[in-house]
Amino acid sequence: MDSIIVRGGRPLSGRIRIAGAKNAALALMPATLLSEEPLTLTNAPRLSDIRTMTELLRSLGVEVTQLQEGKVIALSSHGLTSTRADYEIVRKMRASNLVLGPLLARCHEAVVSLPGGCAIGARPMDIHVSALEAMGAEIELRDGYLHAVAKGGLKGARVPLRFASVGATENTLMAATLAKGTTVIENAAREPEIIDLATCLRAMGARIEGDGTPTIEIEGVDRLRAATHRVVSDRIELGTYMLAPVIAGGEVECLGGEMRLVQAFAEKLDAAGITVEETASGLKVARRNGRPHAVDVVTEPFPGFPTDLQAQMMAMLCTAEGTSVLEERIFENRFMHAPELVRMGARVDVQGGTATVRGVDRLKGAPVMATDLRASVSLILAGLAAEGETRVNRVYHLDRGYEQVEDKLSGVGADIERVRAA
């Protein structure tokens, strides 16, 4: 397996271009299943998860063409050949479950394997199932597959979500676009990726109001049309690279960054003594004076602090002045990076869903192992601040969510390289 080697102690300076959002693209791509007409996505990220979704859609008969080195994805579902999403593909990525709602809406049936992905918590499918059942679907779990049928098509309904799940909101939103009547999603997720999906669906002819609020109303239409849509910037990649100069020192401008995507995160940086400045091209980040200060963090659904930035924030707080407390309220089992940071000299104590971090003057390079996508990049960030060499092993997770991470960081002065597996 590939490894990433980081030699710390070099301040950063320059610009990093932020890619299109992985989590937005993975919801936008299945939207093609809702229409026989083509859907074109621009500003697409070039990631292994995108390749997995491409593989899944092609297995259903979708034509997928990548243009401009993968930054443009052209999709056409005019000739679907299957409504079955097999385990061998779905097991690689949890977002594969987002074909369930569109297939039910257009084909009135679907057989979808239970999903896989990072081992950071259960993330159960019951919220998705309950939502689609409220719209008239009959769903049964057999042999690890959800067998779903909507005889006569889905029907508009009131759909209260017990948790503001992003995936369940996306599945329900897509399914409702072709349902008969009006669907109201209550306690809907409010993430920018939801707004991006709704914007794309409206361009395809859907009638949607309230995205970005807890209540989304969708009036079903008979068919959707062709559209071209630009994928929103990736707020998690943005937050990750905003932390790089905080940890390593220096100043970095994140091109394409928007404050609206990371407001709660930026407020925590400000409290830690970090300057975040909006520019004509993005966001510029630098320390105000010396080491950052300790801050407490609680992960929450958007617009709160993102769980997908918790590991990276912990890496930064390991060298902050004072003691910080991080509380993880979204996923269980998401502090697996903490023992690896301790190997680098960090002082982190984990008790259940809470981690206490006591800042140290400096981390020390060490061999560490990545356990999931965000943990991978948190260890790379920690390596930027460490004395000596840090070798991050098992970085196959990294390529699921970050494109060309070595190139982007080395482009602003980091000493970082990938060592290919023999």
Q: Which residue has the higher pLDDT, 207 or 289?
A: 207
Range name among 122-126, 293-297, 337-341, 412-416 with the lowest pLDDT average = 122-126
Alpha helices in 318-372 (DSSP H): 338-343
- Domain boundaries along the sequence of the chain: 3-19+233-419, 22-230
- Does position 289 have pLDDT exceeding 90, yes or no? no
Is the peptide bond between 367 and the residue preceding it cis, with omega within 30 degrees of 0?
no
Label residues 295-321 b or e (16+ Cβ within 10 Å = b). bebebebbebbbbbbbbbbbbbbbbbe
- pLDDT tens by residue, 245-287: 999 999 999 999 999 999 999 999 999 999 999 999 999 999 9
Label residues 391-400 b or e (16+ Cβ within 10 Å = b). bbbbbebbbb
Judge whether 330 is annotated as a binding position: yes
- Rounded to whole angstroms, how far apart are CA atoms 66 and 80? 19
- pLDDT tens by residue, 188-214: 999 999 999 999 999 999 999 999 999
- pLDDT tens by residue, 98-150: 999 999 999 999 999 987 543 334 456 889 999 999 999 999 998 889 999 99
Q: What does the pLDDT average to over 288-294?
A: 93
Cβ-contact 266, 294 below 8 angstroms: no
Catalytic residue selected from 118, 200, 254, 318: 118
Provide CB contacts within 8 A for 374, sequence distance 6+.
236, 308, 309, 310, 311, 312, 337, 401
Judge whether 22 is annotated as a binding position: yes
The predicted pLDDT at position 122 comes to 46
Instruction: Select from 95, 88, 108 the least CA-distant residue to 45.
Output: 95
Same fold, 3-19+233-419 and 22-230: yes
Q: Given the structure tokens 């799940």, which residue do they identify?
A: 165
- Rounded to whole angstroms, how far apart are CA atoms 359 and 292? 10
Judge whether 10 is annotated as a binding position: no
Provide CB contacts within 8 A for 294, sequence distance 6+.
272, 317, 320, 321, 322, 323, 324, 357, 359
Judge whether 89 is annotated as a binding position: no
Q: Given the structure tokens 């309230």, which residue do they identify?
A: 210
Q: Given the structure tokens 């800042």, which residue do they identify?
A: 359
- Does position 336 have pLDDT exceeding 50, yes or no? yes
- pLDDT tens by residue, 342-390: 999 999 999 999 999 999 999 999 999 998 888 899 999 999 999 999 9
Tell how strand 39-42 and strand 227-230 pair up. Answer: parallel
Confidence category of residue 6, pLDDT binned at 50, 70, 90: very high
Percent of the chain past pLDDT 70, that is, above it, reads 98
Instruction: Select from 42, 45, 56 the least CA-distant residue to 22.
Output: 45
Confidence category of residue 331, pLDDT binned at 50, 70, 90: confident
Percent of the chain past pLDDT 90, that is, above it, reads 88
- Rounded to whole angstroms, how far apart are CA atoms 421 and 100? 36
- pLDDT tens by residue, 68-90: 999 999 999 999 999 999 999 99
Judge whether 171 is annotated as a binding position: no
Average pLDDT over all residues of the chain:
94
Compute the residue count for the chain. Answer: 422
Please state, as a whole number, how many other Cβ atoms lie within 10 Å of the Cβ of residue 130. 16
**Cα 57–58–62 angle (5° rounding)?**
75
Provide CB contacts within 8 A for 409, sequence distance 6+.
12, 16, 244, 380, 384, 416
The predicted pLDDT at position 120 comes to 33
The predicted pLDDT at position 108 comes to 98
The SS3 call for residue 8 is coil
The predicted pLDDT at position 118 comes to 39
Side chain identity at residue 114, one-letter code: L
Is residue 200 annotated as part of the catalytic site, yes or no?
A: no
- Rounded to whole angstroms, how far apart are CA atoms 72 and 389? 37
22-230 CATH pick, 3.30.750.24, 3.65.10.10, 3.40.50.2300, 3.30.465.10: 3.65.10.10
CATH class label, 3-19+233-419? alpha beta
- Rounded to whole angstroms, how far apart are CA atoms 247 and 61? 46
Confidence category of residue 41, pLDDT binned at 50, 70, 90: very high
